Amino acid sequence: MSEAVAMHAGAEPAEAPLTPESWGKLGMWLFLAGDAMSFGGLIVGYGILRHASKTWPVPSHTLGINLTAVMTFLLIVSSVTMVLALAAIQEDDKRRFKKFMGFTILGGLTFLGCQAYEWTHLIGHVLPEHNLSFTKDLFATTFFILTGFHGMHVTGGVIYNSAVLAAVSRGRYQAKHVEIAGLYWHFVDLVWILIFTFVYLL
């Protein structure tokens, strides 16, 4: 961070031009803004379909929110290990970085495992009991599209984080690259916080 300190050492202009190291962050933020609109469209669409439906199963009865509360917890923890990994690499402590980045990846994989179990359980047992299924009714269809779209993002994040871990280990990536990967990972966590509320709790 020493060069960043040097850059900010002078008078801080009210609206300083972007520093070279912030271009990557801006790029990721622009991507995330677009991605947020995809999720926003899906969530708003879900809300309108649900509002317009005469009947809608109570999610907390059908979906079982205890497992998903644990999944929410997992993603929050993996977000924390991600920022701790960033703090470690900023201090040039590669060993601690690898440990925390490993935990982050593990958290993502465990989340995906839970989701695979949840889907299997829903498709095999719960949904048939309620006479619901994908493409047959709006409840199941919107559920699988929303959680599936998010699950793909988690999968992408796990691959991304693994690539960053490998690149840092080989000395090709530095703290700024980790920070950009972190933005993506926290975004995935942030979206899950919203999905957890709108799809599972409400």
Partner 1 sequence: MPSVAHSAAHSTAQYIKIFYILLALTILEVSIVYTGLPRMFLVGLLVILAVWKAALVAMHFMHLKFEKTLLSIVAIVPFVLCVFLILMLLPDIFPR
Q: Which residues of the shown chain bind partner 1 in the complex (CB under 8 A)?
A: 1, 4-5, 8, 12, 15-16, 18, 22, 25-26, 29-30, 32-34, 36-37, 40-41, 43-44, 47-48, 51-52, 60, 65-66, 69, 72-73, 76-77, 79-80, 82-84, 87, 90-91, 179, 182-183, 186-187, 189-190, 193-194, 196-198, 201-202
Of the two residues 99 and 134, which places its CB atom closer to partner 1 in the complex?
A: 99
Query: Hey, what are 153's tokens?
Result: 């993002």
How far apart are CB 133 and partner 1 at their closest, in Å? 25
Q: How far is the CB of 87 from partner 1 (least distance, A)?
A: 5
Cβ atoms of 40 and 191 closer than 8 Å: no
| Residue among 123 and 145 whose Cβ is closer to partner 1 | 145
Q: Which is nearer to partner 1, 77 or 138 (CB)?
A: 77
Cβ(188)–Cβ(81) under 8 Å? no
